[in-house]
Structure 1
Amino acid sequence: MLFNQRFTYAMVASLLFLSLSQASARYRDLLPDSLRLTDTLPMDSGVVRGKLPNGLVYYIRHNEEPKDRVVMYLATKVGSILENENEKGLAHFLEHMQFNGTKHFPKNELVDYLQRAGVRFGSDLNAYTSFDETVYQLPIPSDDPELLKNGLQVMRDWAQDALLDGEEIDKERGVVLNEMLGGRGAQQRMRDQYFPMILNHSRYAERLPIGTKEIIEGFDHETLRAFHRKWYRPNLQALIVVGDIDVSAMEAQLKPLFGDLKNPVDEPVRDEYSVPLQGGNQFMAVTDPEMPQTVVQVIVKHPEAEVKTVGDYRMQLVKSLFNQMAGARFAELTRQADPPFIQGGGSIGGFLRGLDAFTMYFASKPGEIKRGFEAVVTEFERIKRHGFTSTELERAKSNFLTSVESAYAERDKRKSESYVDSYLNHFLEGENVLSNDDRYRLGKQLIGTITLEEVNALGTQYYVDSNRDVLIMAPDKDKAGLPDENTVNGWFDELKALDITAYDDNIQDEPLLEQQPQAGTVINRTERPELGTTELTLSNGVKVVLKPTDFKNDEINIAAFSPGGTALYNDTDFLSATYAATVVGGSGLGPYDATQLTKYLSGKKVSVRPYISERNEGFNASSGKKDLQTTFELIYAYFVAPRLDMEVFQGYMQRIKASLANRLDDPDAVFADTINAVLYNNNIRRTSLTVEQVDLINPQRAYDIYKARFADASDFTVTIVGSFTEPEITPLILQYLGGLPAAGRKEQAPDLGIYPPEKGLQRTVYRGKEQKSSVRLYYFGNYDYSEDENMQMDALESILNIKLIERLREAESGVYGVSASASYAKSPRYRYSFGIAYGTSPDMVEPLMVSAFEEINKIKQQGPEQTDIDKFINEQKRVLEVQLRENSFWLGHLSGSYQNNEDPAYILNYLDKLRNVTVESVKTVANKYLAEDRLFKFVLMPEVQ
């Protein structure tokens, strides 16, 4: 449950820079005879739509991914923009109250009921409130008719039957105030200053969904109930149901259930609001003592363009190509030896109700705000004057076609959740939803008709000098050096007069590998029919685990590991070892530098990322079927043809230094550093990087360490999961994995002995301007690692999450969120950690800590309630049912099992073994690991004023 301040973006639409008739005439030779730019975009015929007599709209679609699941959304065109002066924050508050009692689920019975069905509060069951709408979401199993019926009843209750009990309202005030408090900080304080400007002093600037402290604390119960009666009505609502359901049966169910919803007599008009354009330019510089770096935004606002016709959709594609090419230019700028900013860029997109915007931004290196400004503006001046090149456009089109073809290949595997946003947008904005077939057809037909002249014209159309806002956000200590409006305007004028050369799109075209590797052979092959896996041992020692699946049509994921990692290196080399894979991975490969490699891979669905962690090195990769050979070539090249680009290294180190310069002005960063320093005695391997430590990273040493880690593939285990067959993939495995160098070395990462103290302790950090606190409670120690023990710890984590939310949030209104988390490791020692985290007001730190320990002690003394164990078991069952149909799950499970020397088949019996979770077993594990002498208490309190 959250308040969402996302702007209501259009689908990145734009005004046609030529009139529609001109455009139609100009491109009719390129368009198919059956396609006209004036045609209205077709609506997805796969969704059943209807409208009840009371005005409620519904969308129902059958979709079997994931199987036996359905997602239900209730959208209401009610947001903070409708609030009167005495109602600020009530739209969001009302969203909270929907979980605190409805007609058929009084008090907290709704959350309790759904948790017993395996639905997780916060991650599955959720809602958001924005300026213009409030949306509730409920993903539930669809294979239980009673649960499906009750899920629909939940949506019906949310539509109009919130109880809004006075006692529950008063309890929820504290929860919302803590949500408000948690959002306070440098960003919020600065936003309070600049929002009126960038929202052109419109009503939106005065209606942030979170509301005001004064109103949340003091509104009358009847004020909230009246707001509910006014606005929660069927003619402002839509029900969206997508999943593994019978559409006709669902439609028959919802019609009578929602058909009796009533619109109020003398209902108020639901006015539409917008952000008006003012024609002039605006400037503001805001500072805050906790702002870690200077960020500059230039926002040029334009009237929003609707996406109603084929021509509108085509222009949407034009803008997408523009943004993609601009992004590539800025990525190249960051690879310079002395980059002009930490990061920067710009794009054309949606802004807020009624507006689109062209936005430029950059995060400045300390003292270099002018340089960053000049770099960003100069690049867009270059684009405006000279445009992009034909080769840049061809690459962007190639990337677009790859994405369109990939999405179309997965059309029958598309997740139900992915349909919802489109239907929401249709209801809220009136934009038609393209079917999978139409999106593919139009994309393929239209992309070839887009000319370089059209894309380049967007620079002139959107990068203009009117309706322009310049916003600077900076640390307080840099305030004296910030430019004023006249200075910034002078910079614009200087750059307009500057002679700027056109972009040189230097392109290489040569093989990635100088010569193809000599293929290896399979010396052992073992099948695991129960897992659907095959294990190959290659002649060079590489072990390959294959799991072909039909979960996706064009998705192949790869993960590889080898024992070793940074633990093999001393403290002097630690940082060089830590950044070795990053340095090499950003330097290009073989004959290609990083920029040329990106160009070489355009249009390919491929990604390969080497890594070096503390105890392992390896790589993660993904690919589509047609690019699988390229993927294997890249993997091979990262072993035998890595590069060290000193310019990239120097630029990266500069950007790291700049981003760290003011890090300790952030209270949360200081808090995290203190925790690590106390727990690990300031060990360099457990502390955050400092500006001074950046200079300890030696590029040549990093490169040498990388080559050493990948010099011998004989102890690598490679797991491959996805849409392939063994005969298809084996030749590539033999050539590119079987051809890797092998020396037969045997390595194991040593135990570095970096552990928290044996006995617990307490530390309080005083930092921050806001009257808010953070609490972190940890238990550490040795662990009896086993499958059963891990399950018991997972149960303890889940049950404590339930109990802490019930106690600290629902009963005591002291937090917005609280979490318990368990982790356990097999290497280098059997160890565990168990943490509890929450934020609250300073005066509630101790009382809530007492309450948290009371809940822990209840479990230790009496064991958990059986109903909470049932919730855990049902959640695990429901989660695993979905995970077992996902490539990413199997990749992680198989690779992790081999890494831990465990039999991956244990997952097949996991659901049966859940019966081993009992009141006594959880009580036992709580007493074993939540021992008072192993407790570490860390508290962040505000600075003493």
Structure 2
Amino acid sequence: MKKNIYILAIGLVAQLVIYSPGYAQKKTTAAKTNSSSPAKKSTGQAIPNDPNVKIGKLPNGLTYYIRKNTEPKNRAELYLATRIGSLMENDDQQGLAHFTEHMAFNGSKDFPKNEMINYLQKAGVRFGADLNAYTGFNQTVYQLPIPTDSAAVFKSGFKILANWAGKISMEGEEIDKERGVIIEEDRQRGKNAQERMQKQMLPLILKGSRYENRLPIGKVDLLQTFTHDKIRNFYKDWYRPELQAVIAVGDFEVNEVEQLIKQNFSDLKNPANPRPRLTYDLPDNKEPLVKIITDPEQPYNIAQIMYKQRGGVVKTTADFKKSLMYSMINSMIAARLQEILQKGNAPFLFAQSNFGPFQGGLVPNINAFQTVVVANSGATLEKALTAGLAENERLSKFGFLPSELEIAKKNISAANEKRLKEKDKTPSASFVQKYLNNFLEGSSIASTEFGYELTKKTLEEVSLAEINALAKTLITKDNQIILVQAPEKDKATLPTEAQLLATLKNAGNGVTPYVDNSINKPLLDKKPTAGKVVAEKKIDAIGVTELTLSNGIKVLLKPTDFKNDQIVFSSFGKGGTSLASNGDFRSAEMVSLIPESGVGEFNPSNLNKLLAGNTGSADAYVSELYQGFTGNASPKDLETAFQLVYAYATKPRKDVDIFNKNMSDYKVILGNKNANPNSVFADTVQAVLSSYHERGMPINLKDLDKISLDKAFGFYKERFADLGDQTFVIVGAFDVNTIKPLIETYLASLPAAGKPQNFADNGVRPPVGKISKTVYKGLEDKAAVQLYLHGDYDYSSENNVQLDALNEALKIKILERLREKESGVYSPNVSLSTSKYPNAHYYFTISFSCAPANVEKLIAASLDEVNNIKKSGASADDLAKFKSEEQRQMELSLRNNGFWVGYLAGVIKNGEPLDLVLQQPKLLEKVTVESTKAAASKYLNENNYLRFVLLPQK
């Protein structure tokens, strides 16, 4: 059960995006330093390029960006960016820009067939997770994170990029094999209500433009039948150095990389008569464009209003100022809508208004102010839309208040300060994105220092009058689009086009100025009476200090230098919702609504206002087996984060309005969720996996009647009344002696009664034996498969590493078999989950989507690969890939604060040694072909086999 209704709301917004513009698989001068300060003129000055990036161009026109950056150490991000996308396709090539991207991984001059992927996997580069690419309307981008501590591997990275740039083989056999993969990608991403509605919306929002007929996925019938010359011609015409850039950021020497780029890319040539690379626009519309779309599988009533505007990228200080002002406006609108959503009588399930790139950057240089509302039903959609638009009119007529702008400025300033403090710890991927935007869109590349000073100066200059004047320009009289997406069952109660237009016109009638209801009080009335550190122990092997506090709480401290301005922490104690009775556990599951309601006198909105500009944050949680706290802060704001911990423990807040709003929203969600085939399928899987135990079943409408705010609040107070067995793990940029006084004040003072704590085993178990369930739901020619092999086992680090090796080997074989050999799926997934409590159990899961006609064949192929591993063990090659990937990922993890928080908490919960991470090399040595054969025979046991299939309704 989802504990937070707003998590679901985020999912609602995701489905509103009309089109995600990327389909994924996967004489030289240095920039000059500009020491002048940002210009004072309103027209602004050009933002200078960061002098730390070397930008150059080869004689053949290929651009390159090179920057030395040591985060993460011994790693580099290599990208090939191309100004080549689906808009370049001829009518008989639709989909071949994206198809070409796929072919880049299926053989090239220096890496025949699948050799490129095999080579990189053995170097620790993961296909999909690391090695990847995406295709959009205007660009195709290839990404290759690669280690730099192996000279041979690092140099090969540039050879790979050059092969993508101009040496893809395009063998006929490989083209034909990839057709099925592309078609399955279309099936996996689409064949649902969203795609059906998109096909009706796109002709409206992209009306009169080339974008309407050039979706990157292309046309299925063409993908099945195009002749090989069509894709070879596309590659020959468009993959040319004058339209390409190499981006290299990482732990290397700049001059060496520049020479590698010259060596690998200088021989690439442009066509003698290159085709012109045209740009395409989106026409204006004087009259509003309106579309009402219904679908049997659409679960929610959603209305969108868009006001399109011409725009551009940030190139000057004036552009930057305007962009920053839009950010402030967006944050202030979001805060107002969030206040409304906390009220029990809120007119919508969810609402959002913001200004930004049109449909996530669908069309360059087109922005939009967009309002989205989600309503209870078709009958209430007009009311919800009116309320959302009224907020737009309120800000347009009356503007924002000085207090609102102050909060927005404080938050931006805090992020700006943090960015400067972390300038030498910025990950390479962040720089890559800036250089991509510069090459593809022409946006500026400001240095961290210049950006800091410009942001600071702009925040000082921006006035409330300027903000309110800009806010008035958001709502335009032309270029309006109104879209409604609704369930088919609500069609009769939906507002008409005329009613929607009337709502758009009249929503602002009678609006009054916004009233700020901030509370001007401190978070805590007084500091708690401090406790003491009563014992201290060093674990030098992993740089950890363990403190025992006077109230019994344990604190593990690991100071690090991974970040300059970050401290993260987490705590846990045994218990959780497992201790709730069967009659009350649904109320206990809703206990997250207590911390989500704020703390003390502060509701969430007031708390956000109070903490504006403060990086300290914390939250309380109750999971099935544990309860505790999580949080993070800059060192200067750690006290605030600890104050929040103390407040959540001692001053929880019960808010009837927030509770009632959540219950009302859940009724709508649960009432509509069975319209979605995936939701019905997921509920079936969940029910079977729990053996239909009442505590494991999906929540339903009747369950809502069992939920009591008083019981949820009482259970929360009970779980946090005695925190003596809590263990805190704190990692980051701090000094042990400096942090002790804060720990004694806020953690050693937490309530504790000294009673032993434990969780309960309520007997929720998966079924034993072989079980098969088929769900018939959905209108499209699309199937989903989930296969589980599971069992109880002896939980240990030795067994877990053998399970991990099996999982990786099976993942490789399933991908090779189902995608590469059978061409029957796009991205099959093989996963492993293990747990020690309440009973030690493991699950191997094989899942994929495919054509219904191929279900039995692909299930048989999957089980065949399982049996092959049981007979022969994992291959030596696959184990080499597994060990290399494990080693490379661990190198990155050991320099990550978040990893250490999770790791230390995990080993303590499971009773494992704190230095277990140091034993990984020895554990990996024990993984052999023979050991995996033995493990496969033991754990890939089809005696406990669960098969789930989702097929279209009969």
TM-score under structure 2 length normalisation? 0.95
Question: Alignment partner for residue 839 of structure 1, among 849, 855, 865?
Answer: 849
Match of 1:278 in 2: 285
Aligned length: 918
Retained in 1: the 8 A contact 2:56–2:64?
yes
Render the CA deviation track for 1:687-726: whole Å, top value 9, x for unaligned.
2222332232100110010000000110100110001111
After superposition, residues 1-40 of structure 1 pair within 5 angstroms as 6-7=20-21, 37-40=43-46
Where does residue 524 of structure 2 map in the other structure? 513
Cα distance in 1, alignment partners of residues 293 and 18 from structure 2: 24
Is the 8 Å Cα contact of residues 5 and 131 (structure 1) preserved in structure 2?
A: no
Q: Which residue of 1 aligns with 2:238?
A: 231
User: What displacement does 1:511 show?
Assistant: 1.9
CA distance in 2, matches of 1:837, 1:154: 31
Q: 2:461 aligns with which of 437, 443, 449?
A: 449
**CA deviation profile, 1:336-367 (whole Å, cap 9, x unmatched):** 01211111011111112231111000111123
Alpha-carbon offset, residue 306 of structure 1: 3.5
AA aligned to 2:790 is F
Letter in 2 for 1:752: N
Say if 2:315 is the partner of 1:308: yes
Deviations 1:496-552 (A, max 9, x none): 4x2211000122111222221111111111100111000001010011010010000
Q: Write out aligned runs for 1:822-861 (5 A).
A: 822-861=832-871
Partner of 2:926: 916
2:740 aligned residue = 730
Conservation of the 8 A alpha-carbon contact between 1:101 and 1:108: yes
Structure 2 residue 474 is matched with structure 1 residue 467:
no
In the alignment, what sits opposite 1:794?
804
Q: Secondary structure at the match of 1:448?
A: helix
Structure 1 pair 4–809 and aligned structure 2 pair: CA distance change class (3 A):
farther
Q: Deviations over 1:39-77 (max 9, x none)?
A: 111111110010111110000000000000001000111
- Secondary structure of 1:689 counterpart: coil
Q: Distance in 2 between matches of 1:34 and 1:467?
A: 33
CA deviation vs aligned residue, 1:85-143 (integer Å, no higher than 9, x gap): 11110000010000000111111111111111110000000000001000000001011
CA apart distance, 1:310: 0.7
Map 1:179-578; keep pairs closer than 5 Å.
179-183=185-189, 184-351=191-358, 352-366=363-377, 367-496=379-508, 498-578=509-589
Q: Would you say the 8 A contact 1:300–1:467 is kept in 2?
A: yes
Instruction: Report the Cα offset of residue 84 of structure 1.
Output: 1.3
Structure 1 residue 670 displacement after superposition: 0.6
Q: Any residues of structure 2 matched to 1:545-694 within 5 Å, and which?
A: 545-580=556-591, 582-694=592-704
- 1:5 deviates by 5.0
Amino acid at match of 1:904: L
Separation (CA, whole Å) in 2 of partners of 1:690 and 1:407: 45
SS in structure 1 of the partner of residue 583 of structure 2 = helix
Within 1, Cα distance between the matches of 2:596 and 2:344? 13
Which amino acid is the alignment partner of residue 565 of structure 2?
D
What CA distance in whole angstroms lies between the structure 2 residues aligned with 1:49 and 1:747? 60
Q: Residue 777 of structure 1 aligns with which residue?
A: 787
Secondary structure of residue in 1 paired with 2:126 = coil
Cα drift, residue 728 of structure 1: 1.4
Distance (Å, rounded) in 2 between the aligned partners of 1:132 and 1:494: 39
User: Could you list the runs of 4 or more consecutive aligned residues of structure 1 that deviate by over 4 angstroms after TM superposition?
Assistant: 31-37
Question: Is the counterpart of residue 111 in structure 1 residue 117 in structure 2?
Answer: yes
Shift of 1:592: 1.6
Amino acid at match of 2:614: K
Q: For 1:515, what is the secondary structure of its paired residue? A: coil
Matches within 5 A, 1:116-131: 116-131=122-137
After superposition, the C-alpha distances for 1:570-614 in whole angstroms (9 at most, x for unaligned) are 12111111111x211122212222221111011110221111111
Alignment of 1:744 onto 2:750: no
Report the Cα distance in structure 2 between the residues aligned to 1:58 and 1:912, rounded to whole angstroms. 42
Mapped partners of 1:513, 1:304: distance in 2 = 46
Whether the aligned pair in 2 keeps the contact of 1:338 and 1:654 (CA below 8 Å) is no
Task: Say if 2:142 is the partner of 1:142.
Answer: no
Quote the offset at 1:898 in angstroms.
1.1
| Residue aligning to 2:907 | 897
Q: Secondary structure at the match of 2:79?
A: strand
Distance 2:90 2:579 in 1: 64
Shift of residue 465, structure 1, vs aligned partner = 2.5
- Spell out, residue by residue over 1:243-296, the C-alpha distance to the aligned partner (whole angstroms, 9 max, x if none): 001100110121132111010121110001111212221000111111110111
Quote the Cα distance in structure 1 between the aligned partners of 2:38 and 2:889. 46
What is the rounded CA distance, in whole Å, between the counterparts of 1:863 and 1:145 in structure 2? 32
> Which secondary structure state, in structure 2, belongs to the residue aligned with residue 604 of structure 1?
coil
Q: Deviations over 1:20-44 (max 9, x none)?
A: xxxxxxxxxxx98777742111111
Moved more, 360-369 or 632-641: 360-369
Structure 1 range deviating more: 793-802 or 366-375: 366-375
Q: Contact 2:790/2:941 (CA < 8 Å) preserved in 1?
A: no
Question: 2:878, 2:43 → 1: CA distance?
Answer: 58
Q: Which residue of 2 aligns with 1:22?
A: none
Pairs within 5 Å for 1:848-887: 848-887=858-897
Find the counterpart in structure 2 of residue 73 from structure 1: 79
Amino acid at match of 1:402: A
3-state SS of paired residue (1:652): helix
The 8 Å contact of residues 5 and 130 in structure 1, kept in 2 or not, is answered as: no
Structure 1 residues 548 and 4, CA gap change in structure 2 (3 angstroms): farther
Paired amino acid for 2:480? R
Query: Which consecutive residues of structure 1, in runs of 5 or more, have no partner in the other structure?
Result: 9-30
Where 2:473 maps in the other structure, the secondary structure is: helix
Give me the whole-angstrom Cα distance separating, in 2, the residues matched to 1:32 and 1:867: 56
Which residue is 2:9 aligned to?
A: none
**Change in 2 beyond 3 A, CA 1:535/1:395:** same
Give the letter aligned to residue 675 of structure 1: V
Amino acid at match of 2:389: V
1:939 lines up with 2:939 in the alignment: no
Aligned sequence identity (%) = 42
Does the residue aligned with 2:856 lie in a helix, a strand or coil?
helix
Distance 1:844 1:139 in 2: 35
- Counterpart code for 2:525: E
Amino acid across the alignment from 1:480: A
In structure 2, what is the equivalent of residue 815 of structure 1? 825
Distance 1:462 1:522 in 2: 56
Deviations 1:550-579 (A, max 9, x none): 000011101000000111111211111111
* 1:335 shift after superposition: 0.0
Counterpart contact for 1:290–1:667, Cα < 8 Å? yes
Contact 1:300–1:464 under 8 Å retained in 2: yes
Report the aligned-residue RMSD.
Answer: 1.4
> Is this contact kept in 1: 2:533–2:548, CA < 8 A?
yes
Shift, 1:678, TM fit: 2.1
Distance 2:920 2:566 in 1: 26
How far, CA to CA, are the matches of 1:742 and 1:556 in structure 2? 25
